[in-house]
Structure 1
Amino acid sequence: MSEQKKSYRKGGFTFKQFFVAHDQCAMKVGTDGVLLGAWGPVDDVQSALDIGSGSGLVALMLAQRHQNAHIDAVELDVQAAHQAEANFAESPWAKRLKIINQDIIHYSQHSLTQYDLIVSNPPYFEPAVACRDEQRDQARYTGALTHDVLLKCAQCCLKKNGLFCLVLPYEVGEKVQAMAEESGWFTAFRVNVSDKPATSFHRMLLGLRLVNSHAQVSNLALKEQHGEYTEDFRALIQPFYLKY
């Protein structure tokens, strides 16, 4: 059995330094979360907030990358929050990770904590035909947590010089970037993600600040034309994936 296949265990995914159980979560471990957790800038970060943490994947990746940062993770769904809490407890960084089973709108309005870094792999579909699974519906569709509301929540919780990072489908990312800039945010980072160098962008990593920033824009292809991961993507996932 290959190392990559060994990383998949029933109900979860094994990384080099931690295991993520996700059988109680609507959204499973996937490339979007891995991208955000591996990319989100952590230099000088002492406190971070993961909005819509799900299984806790992104928070765990940030904890591995920064050995001193304290990370809070807000998750509305009860089952997912319990699973994230268990994943945190089993990790090497349990003392620095905290799950908060709460609506981010309520949390942002009542919490006095402000963060150096906020990350989110948010719902991105506009409400449409509902899924059969209410839990998955909540994870996939914006509902009350529209992108405009998400930006306002992040603004309440972010330190003056802090950074808000998101991973979004490319076209949604363009709309969110424009919306953010219209409401006083500045783009600090933008990574346009494609499956292969010659294919269209399908994801965007977006970093926003509330202070004037010069945008650093780059492109990232996940795979070479022959199907192997690119050197740039391997550099991101090497600290985490068993195969590398």
Structure 2
Amino acid sequence: MMQDKPHERPQLKKNGFTFKQFFVAHDRCAMKVGTDGILLGAWAPVAGAKRILDIGSGSGLVALMLAQRTAESVTIDAVELDAQAAQQAKENVRQSPWPSRIHVHQHDIASWAENSNRHYSLIVSNPPWFTPGVACSSPARDSARSTATLDHQTLLRSAALLIEEEGFFCVVLPETVGQNFIDLALADGWHLRFRFDVAEYANRPPHRVLLGFSPSTGETLVERLAIRAEDTHYSEDWRSLTRDFYLFM
């Protein structure tokens, strides 16, 4: 997938990216700012959300995007296992317009879910999806992206402990992984309520899928987006989704 990113902020020494309302440093995070996180942060259904949880928050990108999209009364917990990434997320939050609304916790989500008495109207995750043993570019990236660190069954069951009855649990995954995740979720009692397929061009098959599940039954809204138009420029759908974040969109 082509990793189109916002312009860098050269006057800052930290490695990261500038969005319209905030800056994300990610030099100490295994997973850098990329299209998957931006998709999830821009798409997740925030209407009516009062308390939000970001699982595997990394640099804090998605939590910051959701803070931008929601009212001042909405609080966000961001749980991240890696100590360096969690510390960097805390710094990104402190320097953002929403330091009092986002709370970063360096914790394992399985134990967090078992010991928490909180419930959330929206839970989001850009989860690991590599099969254990598939080499990544670094040990830290391997830890962040391998399901050995957080398998999908554990993720689904942790979210089930924390979700409100009418809430939504949303993930972004490669399209090839998405159907297996749906099968696991349905077997665990979740209901698929949103499916958003993303392709590079309209005439190509989707390579990413955003999925929204709920404990409650209801219709499934299925949509599709192409990132680029036939002339290779960004499509109007992509611009509409991301224009509140990208500097020059």
TM-score class, shorter: over 0.9
Unaligned runs of 5+ in 1: none
Summarize the Cα distance change of 1:7–1:194 in structure 2 as closer, same or farther, 3 Å threshold: farther
AA partner of residue 101 (structure 1): Q
Deviations 1:148-188 (A, max 9, x none): 11100000010111100000000111110121112211011
Map 1:14-93; keep pairs closer than 5 Å: 14-67=18-71, 68-93=73-98
Is structure 2 residue 186 aligned with structure 1 residue 181? Answer: yes
**Aligned residues of 1:7 and 1:15 also touching (Cα < 8 A):** no
Query: Which residue is equivalent to 2:235?
Result: 230
Which region of structure 1 is more displaced relative to structure 2, 124-133 or 36-45? 124-133
* TM-score, normalising length: structure 1: 0.96
Query: Which residue is equivalent to 2:141?
Result: 136
Summarize the Cα distance change of 1:237–1:129 in structure 2 as closer, same or farther, 3 Å threshold: closer
Query: Which residue is equivalent to 1:217?
Result: 222
Unaligned runs of 5+ in 2: none
Instruction: Find the aligned partners of 2:38 and 2:27 in 1 and give their Cα distance.
Output: 17
Instruction: Find the aligned partners of 1:12 and 1:202 in 2 and give their Cα distance.
Output: 25
Summarize the Cα distance change of 1:129–1:173 in structure 2 as closer, same or farther, 3 Å threshold: closer
Instruction: Find the aligned partners of 1:230 and 1:97 in 2 and give their Cα distance.
Output: 32
Summarize the Cα distance change of 1:4–1:115 in structure 2 as closer, same or farther, 3 Å threshold: closer
Offset of residue 5 of structure 1 = 3.5
Structure 1 runs of 4+ with >6 Å offset: none
Is structure 2 residue 209 aligned with structure 1 residue 207? Answer: no
**Aligned residues of 2:78 and 2:104 also touching (Cα < 8 A):** yes
AA partner of residue 201 (structure 1): P
Instruction: Find the aligned partners of 2:247 and 2:204 in 1 and give their Cα distance.
Output: 27
Query: Which residue is equivalent to 1:158?
Result: 163
**Aligned residues of 1:51 and 1:75 also touching (Cα < 8 A):** yes
* Paired residue secondary structure (2:201): coil
Query: Which residue is equivalent to 2:202?
Result: 197
Instruction: Find the aligned partners of 2:28 and 2:129 in 1 and give their Cα distance.
Output: 21
* Paired residue secondary structure (1:195): strand
* Paired residue secondary structure (2:87): helix
* Paired residue secondary structure (2:228): coil
What is the aligned-residue RMSD (CA, Å)? 1.5
**Aligned residues of 2:7 and 2:17 also touching (Cα < 8 A):** no
Instruction: Find the aligned partners of 1:60 and 1:24 in 2 and give their Cα distance.
Output: 17
Instruction: Find the aligned partners of 1:224 and 1:97 in 2 and give their Cα distance.
Output: 36
* Paired residue secondary structure (2:165): strand
**Aligned residues of 1:16 and 1:241 also touching (Cα < 8 A):** yes
* TM-score, normalising length: structure 2: 0.94
AA partner of residue 187 (structure 2): E
Query: Which residue is equivalent to 1:5?
Result: 7
Identity among equivalent pairs (%): 49
Query: Which residue is equivalent to 2:106?
Result: 101
Q: Between Structure 1 and Structure 2, how many residues are aligned?
A: 242
